[in-house]
Amino acid sequence: MTDFLTVGSRRYRIHRVDHRVDSVARLPYSLRIMLENLLRHGAPAEQVRAVAGWEPRAERTAAVDLHPARVFLHDTNGVPALADLAAMRDAMAALGGDPGRVNPAIPAELVVDHSIIADVFGRPDALARNAELEHERNAERYRFLRWGQASMRGFTVVPPGKGIMHQINVEHLARVVMRHGDEAYPDLCLGTDSHTTMVNGLGTLGWGIGGIEAEAVMLGQSVSIPVPDVVGVRLHGELPVAATATDLVLTLTELLRRHGVVGMIVEFHGPGVTALPVTDRVTIANMSPEFGSTAALFPIDAETIRYLRFTGRETHHADLVEAYAKEQGLWHDPERSPAYTADLDLDLAGVVPSIAGPRRPQDRIPLDAAKSAFRAQAHPPARARLADSGQEIGHGAVAIAAITSCTNTSNPSVMIAAGLLAKKAAERGLRAKPWVKTTLSPGSRVVMDYYTEAGLTPYLERLGFTLAGFGCMTCIGASGPLIDEVSRAVGEHDLDVAAVLSGNRNFEGRIQPEVRSNYLASPPLVVAYAIAGTMDIDLTTEPLGTDTTGRPVYLRDLWPAAEEVRDVIEKVIRPRMFTRAYADVLDGDERWQGLDVASSATYPWDPGSAYVRRPPYLDGISPHLSPPADITGARVLVKLGDFITTDHISPAGAILPGSPAGRYLTELGVPRPQLNTYASRRGNHEVMMRGTFANVRLRNQLAPGTEGGLTPNFLDGGRLTSVYDAARAYHAASVPAMVIAGEGYGAGSSRDWAAKGPALLGVKAIIAKSFERIHRSNLVGMGILPLQFLPGQGPDELGLTGREVFAVRGLASHAGRRLPPTLAVTADDITFQARVRLDTQREADYYRHGGILPYVLRDLLTPSPVADQATG
């Protein structure tokens, strides 16, 4: 029902969700936002009923089509997304359509934050040098982004050097309530990074989607999502003095992973929420993907409004957010909780100092148990003497200590604590160990403003934490090389060295290829471990080092009191810092402004480019739909175990010279020092397909005893070769490829290349025990069929070796809109049924069209036929 809301002198149209009706009053806050979205867009009555009549413990069978308010992208997913839209313009022109019709239908905001690398550190010129190298490496990509901003309506780019997308989102871009003309509605934000959920801490519903799904949304398609379970977490009590927001989020990650919230939404409520500032809430919400949840919402309350005002949002807009939330039942009531699928409880007083690792964010370790946990890992004795310093390192030596990631650098309490700890340590004469690569890469320029205002910058620099750049850097694996002598020691003595970072994930092979053990920690603990230089220490009982008088210095001697941190925050952080930092957020430096920008409706592709190539997904596309065929004669490309993440699948980290991607670039004439990272070359599908399934820690069960992207070529007697070379051999012989996997396949970031890469390698179907939500959706978006083993079955139970010849039958005989719930799979003489994981009708339509891009293009070309197919 359309109604009006008056705020000050302005009147807004709103689509009322009557939260006073009992059935709506019981709904979780996130479902109230979804209900408003369905009502405003005139959704079918059965979808409205599925949400309005939601029962907390009912079986979920329905799905709804939501229309996001905006799409949020970073450069590594945004460049290939823009490339796909540019290719769609080419295809539109080739089929006689108007390429100018391919434009974002809703605001599309891209932040360049994933390309800067921590090459230079610990020097006054680190920021300038890293930024210079970033522009040298990425000029092609940045020209392409500037073309997109100039030629596509509704496409906004925040240039490099401004910060990390999610921190910029919560500090500046997020509206919480959108204004479009005289209409007001919730800011439903979907992004191409799984940590888009950070904005949930501001009361904005949002989550990560794949780049390919984002492209469809940008072009006006709705996003289909099963009606979710919603788990409530009641918070009460207050954090102890020694505990930080980081410790709280690691505790929640452990709790929620143990409970199981994959595919669900988590909502925080209760009196403990009112005691948490927004900066703590966004730290928690940021790690929703580490919980496994779709989103992790903190409802709007007075603290939300205070934060909006404090970060420089205009007064009228903050008033609108408050009035709208109260009018629509989105205002948090700590005394009354909605109905939830499950109710969890956490007493904040029970949170203790912690780290997480060495390989998963949910593996929390109390700080006082960190030494014993490290020693529990079996390590053969090994020591190495460093030539430059003359010191010895062994297993557990901290090779990287990084204050990084929007997860924590958005939170002044932990950042100020790190600065104060550095000050106390420097005054006692302590330094980071010489083998530790120390970096500071905050997600907002505001951080350096308040560090400078508080006088803490010189002390951080004295310990080696010189500003290295404003961007994701170490958190996404752009950590650069280790110190040379450390790298040599690791290689010569097979040392298990560690990284300690204030990031959000620490999967194998992600942070740095030579670093096996990775630990998540609060910024002050990152500083402490840099001083200690090893994980083989109990920071709660053993000294970090000795001061200038020879006295031992303990962590407790340096840890700042809560009052110290609070006093600094109250004295130095001011709204003008945010206003000043974001006044020119869309203006780049002279290098950005000086880039040549093509002015054309279609992009003038450079066939010799090593960064941006026209993707092949729409090559030769027909305007007419061809139904899917059975998969026959397929071979297994890789056979994988449980909890294979998108970091194992998707190309990530540095491009190594001897890898298939490295050899390809070298053949193009790219010098070895300029190979760069996979993240920077995501606009080149030739690079990315060569890096798929090439993670140095991937364990392919078809190649036992090996790590990395090796697999047998069954057309060549089972000879071991690279996954890429085997896939090309299968393609040349018209042999479809398949993947077999265990539980939790595809957990991790919502990387579109974890689906695009397998599709380009010829993978037609993936059979797993279970899938992570975003990755499964991305597979469908690329035309790959996700199949799931039935309960009690799996590769081992069925006796599958992965060396069989596979077939999936029943696709051709069900060429209509729907596939049966299961399909027959044969593997030589073994036959079994597998569940078809096309969870919504929209996903079934995408699969029939061969993916999202063909579906949307046909929709733009001939909207009536495709629309008829989608609705009838």
Tens of pLDDT along 610-619?
A: 999 999 999 9
Residues 409 and 346 in one domain: no
Residues 275 and 362 in one domain: no
Domain end residue (candidates: 582, 608, 642): 582
pLDDT for the residue 83: 93
Residue 366, preceding bond cis, omega within 30 degrees?
no
Give domain status of residue 155, yes or no: yes
Full DSSP string of 7-37: ETTEEEEEE---TTSHHHHTS-HHHHHHHHH
The pLDDT confidence band at residue 872, using thresholds 50, 70 and 90, is: very low
231 Cβ neighbours under 8 A, 6+ residues apart: 256, 259, 261, 264, 265, 266, 267, 293, 340, 341, 342, 343, 344
Residues 367 and 344 in one domain: no
CA 863 to chain centre: 33
Give domain status of residue 327, yes or no: yes
Residues 330 and 376 in one domain: no
- Convert the pLDDT of each residue in 384-397 to its tens digit: 999 877 899 999 99
Mean pLDDT of 681-697: 93
844: left (phi over 0), alpha (psi -120 to 50) or beta: alpha
Residues 288 and 338 in one domain: yes
Give domain status of residue 508, yes or no: yes
Mean pLDDT of 424-452: 97
The pLDDT confidence band at residue 871, using thresholds 50, 70 and 90, is: very low
Residues 244 and 384 in one domain: no
DSSP state of 736: -
Residues 296 and 384 in one domain: no
Mean pLDDT of 261-283: 96
Residues 309 and 428 in one domain: no
Mean pLDDT of 185-200: 96
Mean pLDDT of 655-684: 91
Give domain status of residue 670, yes or no: no
pLDDT for the residue 865: 40
Phi, psi of 402 (to 5 degrees): -130, 120
Q: How many CA atoms lie within 13 A of 476 on its CB side?
A: 32
616 Cβ neighbours under 8 A, 6+ residues apart: 685, 760
Statement: residue 546 has pLDDT above 90: yes
Give domain status of residue 681, yes or no: no
Residues 313 and 254 in one domain: yes
Give domain status of residue 21, yes or no: no
> What average pLDDT is seen over the chain?
93
Residue 299: domain span: 70-350
pLDDT for the residue 156: 95
Residues 320 and 171 in one domain: yes
Statement: residue 557 has pLDDT above 50: yes
Residues 388 and 468 in one domain: yes
Give domain status of residue 46, yes or no: no
Count of structural domains within the chain: 3
* Cα distance between residue 153 and residue 681, in whole Å: 25
Q: Distance between terminal CA atoms of the chain?
A: 27
The structure's pTM equals: 0.85
What CATH number is given to the structural domain containing 314? 3.30.499.10
Highest mean pLDDT among 570-574, 616-620, 772-776: 570-574
Residues 157 and 117 in one domain: yes
Choice among 77-86, 168-177, 322-331 with the minimum mean pLDDT: 77-86
Strand partners, 72: 109, 191
pLDDT for the residue 817: 64
- 3-class SS shares of the chain: helix, strand, coil, % to 5: 40, 20, 40
Statement: residue 816 has pLDDT above 70: no
Q: Which residue has the higher pLDDT, 841 or 373?
A: 373
The pLDDT confidence band at residue 864, using thresholds 50, 70 and 90, is: very low
What CATH number is given to the structural domain containing 795? 3.20.19.10
Statement: residue 66 has pLDDT above 70: yes
Collapsing DSSP to helix, strand or coil, 721 comes out as: strand
The pLDDT confidence band at residue 49, using thresholds 50, 70 and 90, is: very high
Choice among 18-27, 524-533, 719-728 with the minimum mean pLDDT: 18-27
31 Cβ neighbours under 8 A, 6+ residues apart: 51, 54, 230
Statement: residue 400 has pLDDT above 90: yes
Structure tokens at 508: 């194998």
The pLDDT confidence band at residue 866, using thresholds 50, 70 and 90, is: very low
Domain end residue (candidates: 350, 368, 399): 350
- Convert the pLDDT of each residue in 356-365 to its tens digit: 999 999 999 9
The share of the chain scoring above pLDDT 70, in percent, equals 98
Give domain status of residue 19, yes or no: no
Statement: residue 647 has pLDDT above 90: no
Q: Which residue has the higher pLDDT, 871 or 394?
A: 394
Choice among 6-15, 315-324, 767-776, 862-871 with the minimum mean pLDDT: 862-871
The pLDDT confidence band at residue 749, using thresholds 50, 70 and 90, is: low
The pLDDT confidence band at residue 119, using thresholds 50, 70 and 90, is: very high
Q: Pick the closest to residue 675 from 145, 129, 137 (CA basis).
A: 137
**Are the C-beta atoms of residues 702 and 729 closer than 8 Å to each other?**
no
Mean pLDDT of 483-510: 94
Domain end residue (candidates: 350, 376, 406): 350
Statement: residue 840 has pLDDT above 90: no
